[in-house]
Amino acid sequence: MSRKERQQPNPQQQSIDSVDDIEGKLQQAISFYQAGQLQQAEQICQQILRDFPQHANALHLLGIIAYQVEGYQIATDLISQAIEIDSNQSSFFYNLGNILKEQGRLEESIEVYQQAIHIQPDRADAYYNLGLVLQEQGRLKESMNAYQQAIHIQPQFAEAYSNLGMVLQEQGRLEESIEVYQQAIHIQPQFADIYSNLGVVLKEQGRLEESIEAYHQAIHIQSDHADAHENLSIISLLKGNLLQGWKEYEWRWKCSNFPSEKRNFPQPYWDGTNLNGKSILIWAEQGIGDEIMFTGILPTLSQMTEKIVIECSLRLVPLFQRSFPQIQFFFQDNPPNLQLLNPDIDYQISMGSLGQWLRTDEDSFKESKKPYLIACANRSAKIKKRYQKLADGRMLVGISWKSTGISQRRALLKSTILEDWTSILSQQDCYFINLQYGDMKEELEQFQQQTNLMIYQDEEIDSLRNLDDFAAQVSALDLVISTSNTTVHMAGALGKQVWTLLPYIPDWRWML
């Protein structure tokens, strides 16, 4: 979803005790700045500071100019100097807060925005940007309060309504979120972000047709609204409208919150043309689970050409190379391996873009229903033997109960707590093994103390660092039960029996 940010600094004229020509020069500098003539504005500020080195307003404006050309540290230093000279100007603190936010110095920006508000309590823009930073930190209640203050000061502040709606959605307060979005639409009917964000909430409620209508409205207002296009792709794929879904999915590269950057390879981007006698480079995107899932298309692609090279995460290279010995794998690096820049490679494409050419209807998914990854047989056999000895004849069941590395709301929808599993974990004929990635030792110990139910933690397996070992571990099991995370994709690709726990409206990859 989109957060509409107001980051354009606004130098305000301050009352200064100076001769008229200095005041006139400052106004001239401000006029140049507002006209986008930054060099002229900078020259005048420098001229003022030669005569008046302690001129706070000139230092402030010079700092804003530096900010505009991404000289963030210089901008920070200049505006900090201005504040040392005159600490009663709210605009100084406000603009410094914007620069600190841009640098990722979020805690400092919060303090500075609060100081701007302390000096000038009716600054809706400072409350709004404070809300942005708090929202970015996941401090949702504080963020909500900041947006509400901005709206109280400026009742027609559509952007504040829009972001307030996002915070309410993150908290699961969907009806309130919809009401806030509708207020924003009433204030600013041509605000595309609001329709796109509204569509996300409607989708979560299962109101799919209304969600699609909201996305279309956003695109009608702003034809290049990347988030709306990507959101439309997700709901189209979810409903099985694959042709439209994959087409819209290409907008993901233009979304500000998309987790991957498009790789800059020199070869032409593959457009589905015949690959007979041609070579193609496939490069990975998004997370480990996505790489495993998209790799399910490789058996189909291998029928079209024998000349495939793939760039993927380093942790997956051993597993992928064993599973597809006819394909050459390279680990993803910056800059890329020189062999991947070879102009003799005919085409290149991202893994996620293969679907628009090779997964266009339900029949085309038949290949993906077969196991396509191969764990190390020796390693898996040793793990299985060890587990069977511990299980004493019981069924080996691996469990994973949450998803991480995503937004709070998505993590909540895709996650459970161990207490929810008590009835399953009480089954006497099963021996349960932890497949949850990350350090779960404390959580597992606490759960065992509370319930007297034990989930075995294999200290020999590091599922985050060694995915080949993790694949061998999963391959050794009789059953996997998991929320929709990397564990599910790994188990499915290995051909293991999997029970997947999905939210009411699942992610697009599971369809309806």
pLDDT band of residue 405 (cuts 50, 70, 90) is: low
CATH of span 21-105: 1.25.40.10
- In this predicted model, what pLDDT tens digit does every residue of 144-155 receive, in sequence order? 999 999 999 999
The CATH class of the 279-369 domain is alpha beta
- DSSP letter for 269, please: B
Q: Which two tokens stand for residue 318?
A: 């051993």
- Residues linked to residue 330 through DSSP beta bridges, in sequence order: 311
Q: Hey, what are 358's tokens?
A: 């090779």
Q: Are strands 479-483 and 498-501 parallel, antiparallel or unpaired?
A: parallel
pTM given for the model: 0.87
Surface-to-core class of residue 322, CB atoms within 10 Å of its CB (0-12 exposed, 13-18 middle, 19+ buried) = middle
CATH of the structural domain 122-189, one choice from 1.10.10.10, 3.30.70.890, 1.25.40.10, 1.10.1060.10: 1.25.40.10
Domain with CATH 3.40.50.2000 in the chain: 377-510
Ranges for all domains in the chain classified under CATH 1.25.40.10: 21-105, 122-189, 194-258
Query: In sequence order, what are the residues at sequence separation of 6 or more whose Cβ sits closer than 8 angstroms to the Cβ of residue 5?
Result: 129, 132
The answer to whether 192 and 225 are in contact (CB under 8 A) is: yes
**Assigned fold of 194-258:** 1.25.40
Cα separation, 96 vs 64, in Å, equals: 9
The mean pLDDT of 197-225, rounded to a whole number, is 97
Query: What strand order describes the sheet that includes 498-501?
Result: 430-434, 395-400, 479-483, 498-501
Q: Check pLDDT > 60 for residue 410.
A: yes
- 351 compared with 33, residue with greater pLDDT: 351
The pLDDT score that the predictor gives to residue 3 is 54
Instruction: Name the DSSP letter for residue 171.
Output: T
In the CATH scheme, what is the code of domain 377-510?
A: 3.40.50.2000
pLDDT digits (tens, 9 = 90+) for 29-62: 999 989 998 999 999 999 999 988 999 999 999 9
Q: Residue 83 in contact with residue 54, Cβ under 8 Å?
A: no
Residue with tokens 């933690």, as numbered in its chain: 457
Band the pLDDT of 403: cuts 50, 70, 90.
confident
Going by C-alpha positions, the residue among 156, 150, 104 that lies closest to residue 129 is 150
Give residue 21's pLDDT band: very low, low, confident or very high (50, 70, 90).
Answer: confident
